[in-house]
């Protein structure tokens, strides 16, 4: 899914007690379909705000926010809900699992919302739980899992409907380095296998190195760094096999 921001400005409205907060100021950005983009910037610079605008959780104060040429800033709530359910997977720093649902039910949640047939729900959930290595934990509850496992469940939930867009807000921010690495490997594996567009906010240089390029967020502006897709393949010594259905960064 292609992401385009055109002259996007975003301010959080103030109240009687608080002044309005201007976060993004005339931001334009184009992220091609299948890119793995990384947002970096100081705390409070607007990374989560940007993810919320891209994910149609919030609307820009002005400017256009386009997903595959659809301007989400003018869609009504029911269309936005459909778009979010069908096309977007969100991964959060604090996992956001539902504590009263077991692993299977948490992962099945987006499919249940979309009224998917039971048989399909069962097979899809089993497939993604295997993908994140938790096939044997389906009946466990979140409080019986480690942090790394909870994030793996959250990733399974984010990808169970095979969304063309995955947004991750500091997905390793609450994990130790070993679990963080495992989560990043998992996200990279999903990117290579299914080629969704991924936008990930992080404070970690290590995490950022997993993306194709970095978008710096500072002073209300964004600046796209040079492509680093080659950097990753140089490091690992093996470039991912190109999928002919999706253009590689070099051919776009």
Ligand X SMILES: Nc1ncnc2c1ncn2[C@@H]1O[C@H](COP(=O)(O)OP(=O)(O)OP(=O)(O)O)[C@@H](O)[C@H]1O
Q: Please give the residues from 44 up to 83 whose contact with ligand X meets the rule CB under 6 A.
A: 44-49
Q: Which is nearer to ligand X, 12 or 109 (CB)?
A: 12
Tokens of 136: 């044997």
Q: Which residue is nearest to Mg ion (CB)?
A: 48
Are 30 and 64 in contact by the 8 Å Cβ rule? The answer is: no
Q: Does 223 bind ligand X (CB under 6 A)?
A: no
Q: Does 48 bind Mg ion (CB under 5 A)?
A: yes
How many residues bind to ligand X according to rule CB under 6 A?
11
Dihedral angle computed from the Cα positions of residues 144, 147, 149 and 151, in that order, rounded to the nearest 10 degrees:
130
Stretch that binds Mg ion, among 30-38, 44-52, 157-165, 221-229 (CB under 5 A): 44-52
Q: Does 251 bind ligand X (CB under 6 A)?
A: no
Dihedral angle computed from the Cα positions of residues 24, 27, 31 and 35, in that order, rounded to the nearest 10 degrees:
-40
Q: Which is nearer to Mg ion, 4 or 47 (CB)?
A: 47
Stretch that binds Mg ion, among 43-51, 181-189, 192-200, 221-229 (CB under 5 A): 43-51
Partner residues linked to 36 by β-bridges: 198
What is the rounded distance in angstroms from the CA atom of residue 33 to the CA atom of residue 249? 10
- Would you give the binding string for ligand X spanning residues 5-44, x where CB under 6 A is met? -------x--------x-x-----------------x-xx
Closest CA to 129 of 146, 154, 109, 147: 154
CA 225 centroid distance within chain: 19
Q: Name the residues that contact ligand X, by CB under 6 A.
A: 12, 21, 23, 41, 43-49
């Amino acid at each position: 899914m292609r992401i385009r921001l055109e002259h996007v400005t975003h301010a959080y409205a103030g109240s009687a007690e608080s002044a309005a907060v201007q976060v993004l100021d005339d931001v334009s950005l184009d992220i091609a379909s299948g890119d793995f983009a990384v947002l970096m910037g100081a705390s409070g610079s607007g990374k989560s705000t940007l993810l919320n605008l891209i994910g149609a959780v919030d609307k820009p104060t002005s400017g256009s926010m386009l997903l595959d040429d659809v301007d989400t800033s003018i869609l009504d709530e029911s269309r936005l809900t459909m778009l979010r359910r069908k096309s977007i997977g969100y991964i959060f720093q604090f996992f956001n699992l539902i504590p009263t649902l077991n692993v299977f039910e948490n992962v099945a949640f987006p499919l249940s919302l979309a009224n998917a047939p039971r048989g399909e729900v069962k097979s899809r959930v089993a497939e993604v739980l295997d993908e994140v290595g938790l096939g044997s934990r389906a009946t466990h509850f979140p409080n019986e899992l480690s942090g790394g496992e909870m994030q793996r469940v959250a990733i399974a939930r984010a990808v169970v409907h095979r969304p063309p867009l995955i947004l991750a807000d500091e997905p390793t921010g609450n994990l130790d380095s070993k679990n963080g690495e495992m989560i990043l490997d998992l996200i990279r594996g999903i990117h290579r296998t299914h080629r969704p567009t991924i936008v990930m906010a992080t404070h970690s240089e290590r995490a950022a190195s997993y993306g194709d390029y970095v978008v710096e967020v500072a002073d209300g502006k964004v600046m796209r760094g040079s492509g680093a897709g080659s950097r990753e393949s140089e490091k690992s010594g093996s470039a991912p096999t190109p999928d002919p259905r999706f253009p590689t960064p070099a051919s776009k």
